[in-house]
Structure 1
């Protein structure tokens, strides 16, 4: 009987000692649940501004060296330096857009005036158009109708044109919303230059708490990647578009702003300016004299090749990540996430590449430290 009582007392004591541990775990789970709930609510509140915040952060990191130099030139007046950089950024964005809008409006007005006056003449199609596979007969019929009665063709294609115009309006609205968010990001970045060092220290502290010295290395690598991509991709694209606009203006090419903007976008998305410059060169040999056409070609060809020389040098400068990894990140990020992926792609891929190397090295060191049988 005494042994049974002793065993019962021991079981009671074990139960009493187990209860606080269970209560502690339940309390921890409740705390984590509350923290997770508030984190989720916070993310839903911040999500509409996430793109603007990311763009503002990228702009601040990329342009902070320029801000620091300008502040030093202005005698330490940080507010004035931030204001000047913000105004320059807005001018870089708004200036080309204004040139494109005015140029497109003038071209559309001239085309409309010429159409109203009956000055648009469509030549008759060649008989060889009928021999085109699959679409030859249809193209020939519509082309012949356009050459004989353009108004009738427009009325015939009116439903398709209305559908295309609706799609175009939606695309323009999306582009306009993206540009508006980018302009807001430029304005926000202007307010981030002065507290930039404090924000950077906070980010470094957070990274160090998560991954120690490796986290600080990731922060440094992210900063270098953003600045290198800004110089090697965005900077080179701006140079190419600017030089292209100058050459086109010298030869009095119409719609210079729109063509230069197309060159800028193609260079940023890593397609290159060839789809725009090559047709221009061919057009120049048909429309210009031999001498001007040769000069036109000799000026445009180096512009098309600038990025092949400058981009690899600027993008990989000061980084331990291989150039191939960075370029794959730039291309993959742009194709997957658009313009913002231009920066996020190489950053994510570089961090993953570095983590993979650390893991492989740790595995190799562990194998070397194993005692041999």
Structure 2
């Protein structure tokens, strides 16, 4: 005896889905001001969770003192330095824009040392003299408007101090909560992933955490080391605004541009001003700092997760371009989870044999 087909109430199904979609959009609208701060907090907590456990063992196994210590470290490492630098830029923005915008502040050096370069020195010196004829007024006039506009743009971008401090405060507050309730939050996320996609969902969540930790170790730590070493070189060589340039160098390293965008123009500036000794020292130091990521970054990424280096770097650059600074972590997580899911799906069937199967004979049509 055949069972009758179950009839569905199409209108009820449509209205049910519509209600769920509206509810999701309403929840997103309510929590929208906190999404960025909570996302940053989640990335920071996942990356520094092993450090929290070590601190907890040092505080006799108690969680609250460890949470307080980690929160203070976040304030000292993330919020306070950037806040001081941004405040310094805003306070001195008027003087900086006025200095760049006035042509009298621009002077073209003679670069007599070019003549000492073997074989091509005399030609380079004559070319520079012809380029800077009439005290270089034409060269300065062509460069100065772009420099003034660029400086004004950077100052206007940094002027959003209130928004930065708001997200920084939310990041610290949410990080403290996640540090204290980390196990419960992780268990809830894993439970949702199990309900959504069984064991593969849980594996995807764990892989996402490993990818975040790999980015934190490989990209962020490498950028921090390069920026600190580069900043020390700038300060020792006597470059002005070394602290500000160190922060800009750190941002460039995060964006995978590298510290060369800050270090090599500083070397050129020292040669420009005639300080050839320190310029040479800074040049050698800059070459060491620039090449450091080729050794340090792959080793640190391997410590965080066993993922292809090209996959992580592609996710970092693509995520940064697509989502901004938070995409630094979102991009590698998306690519890493997708890569592992596709690999698991492909591994469900055996690999093809090394030899191609014999092709059927061709059919000749007469």
Report the TM-score when normalising by structure 1: 0.74
Which residue is equivalent to 2:222?
236
SS of equivalent residue, structure 2 residue 220 = helix
SS in 2 for 1:22: coil
Q: Does 1:88 align with 2:86?
A: no
Aligned counterpart, 1:50: 35
Separation (CA, whole Å) in 2 of partners of 1:23 and 1:258 = 65
Alpha-carbon shift at residue 168 of structure 1 (Å): 5.6
**1:263 maps to 2:261:** no
What are the Cα deviations for residues 279-308 of structure 1, in whole angstroms up to 9, with x where unaligned?
Answer: 222333455666544433333322222222
**1:76 aligns to what?**
61
Q: Secondary structure at the match of 1:102?
A: helix
State yes or no: 1:327 paired with 2:325. no
Q: Equivalents in 1 of 2:289, 2:166: separation in Å?
A: 30
1:270-289 equivalences under 5 Å are 270-287=256-273
The number of aligned residues is 328
Q: Which residue of 1 aligns with 2:199?
A: 213
Alpha-carbon separation, structure 2, partners of 1:346 and 1:279: 31
Contact 1:249 1:256 in 2 (8 A): yes
- Name the structure 1 match of 2:113: none
Distance, in Å, in 1 between the alignment partners of 2:61 and 2:150 is 56
Counterpart contact for 1:334–1:342, Cα < 8 Å: yes
Q: How does 1:1-373 map to 2 (within 5 A)?
A: 21-22=6-7, 27-93=12-78, 94-99=80-85, 101-102=87-88, 105=91, 109=95, 120=105, 128=131, 140=138, 143=141, 165=152, 170-174=156-160, 177-178=163-164, 180-287=166-273, 291-317=277-303, 319-362=305-348
* Whole-Å separation in 1 of the counterparts to 2:217 and 2:230: 19
Whole-Å separation in 2 of the counterparts to 1:103 and 1:34? 48
Pair 1:73–1:121, CA change in 2 (3 A): closer
Q: Note if contact 2:213-2:304 (Cα within 8 Å) is conserved in structure 1.
A: no
> Residue 68 of structure 2: SS of its match in structure 1?
helix
Distance 1:38 1:239 in 2: 45
Local SS of the residue matching 1:317: helix
TM-score by length of 2: 0.75
Question: Are the equivalent residues in 1 in contact too, given 2:239–2:266 (CA < 8 A)?
Answer: no
Q: Partners of 2:322 and 2:349 in 1: how far apart?
A: 32
Residue deviations 1:101-150, cap 9 Å, x none?
4377569659969999x9847569977579xxxxx9xx839839x9xxxx
8 Å CA contact 1:62, 1:227 repeated in 2? yes
- Unpaired runs of 5+ residues, structure 2, are 110-127, 353-366
Equivalent position of 1:3 in the other structure: none
Equivalent residue of 1:56, what SS? helix
Shift of 1:318: 5.1
Does the 8 A contact of 1:284 with 1:293 survive in 2? yes
Q: Is the 8 A contact 1:96 1:257 kept in 2?
A: no
Residues 84 and 215 (structure 1), Cα distance of their counterparts in 2 relative to 1, 3 Å cut: same
Moved more, 273-282 or 293-302: 293-302
State the distance in 2 between where 1:206 and 1:76 align.
29
Give the equivalent residue in structure 2 for 1:9: none
Cα distance in 2 between the residues matched to 1:293 and 1:361: 56
- Asked if the contact 2:43/2:212 (under 8 Å) is kept, the reply is yes
Q: Partners in 2 of 1:141 and 1:287 — Cα distance?
A: 17
Distance 1:200 1:349 in 2: 21
Contact 1:237/1:264, CA 8 A, preserved across alignment: yes
Q: Is the 8 A contact 2:298 2:309 kept in 1?
A: yes
